[in-house]
Amino acid sequence: MTDPLRPQGGFADLLGYGLASWREDYAEVTLAVEERHMNRSGVLHGGVVSALLDTALGYAGTYSPDPEVVRRAFTLSLNTHFVGTAAIGQTLTAIGRKTGGGQKIYFCSGEVRDQDGRLVGQGEGVFRYRGKSGG
């Protein structure tokens, strides 16, 4: 059986994030910041913050308590607000919360914070369930 807290796929492996918590309408994704996450100016790349938010928000709307029921979705819209940065060696946590939606579309908001609780980014997303996996 596949571990539900281990994101599957090449991008998760490439970026190096992990799913720390996942329950109804909520998800936490963590990442240890490494050199590969920095931009050419030596600060955390904004794409990392966006990817963490996209992942946490996406997971927040697709939880199923039944391991036999796999729910999937894709991003329709993602707004990211870059507030701070992080250094190599820090751990980031992205928290996503489902805020509403229906059978086909759902809405989420979230934030990315460092291990000291400092806000690095925040955002909102709109997602569409794939196939008949809606809620």
User: What pLDDT, on a 0 to 100 scale, did the predictor assign at position 111?
Assistant: 98
* Domain coordinates in residue numbering, the chain: 10-129
Could you tell me if residue 120 is left (phi over 0), alpha (psi between -120 and 50 degrees) or otherwise beta?
alpha
Q: How far apart are CA 94 and CA 17, in angstroms?
A: 10
Compute the distance between CA of residue 17 and CA of residue 38 in angstroms, rounded to an integer: 15
47: tokens are: 């794409």
Tell me the CA distances in angstroms from 119 to 38, 54, 80, 113, one per residue in order. 17, 16, 13, 5
Residue 64 burial by Cβ neighbours in a 10 Å radius (0-12, 13-18, 19+): middle
Q: What per-residue confidence (pLDDT) applies to 1?
A: 38
Strand partners, 113: 93, 119
pLDDT at residue 134, rounded to an integer: 56
User: Residue 131: what pLDDT?
Assistant: 81
Residue ranges in the chain modelled with pLDDT below 70: 1-8, 132-135
Is 10-129 assigned to CATH 2.60.40.740? no
pLDDT score at 6: 57
How much is the pTM? 0.91
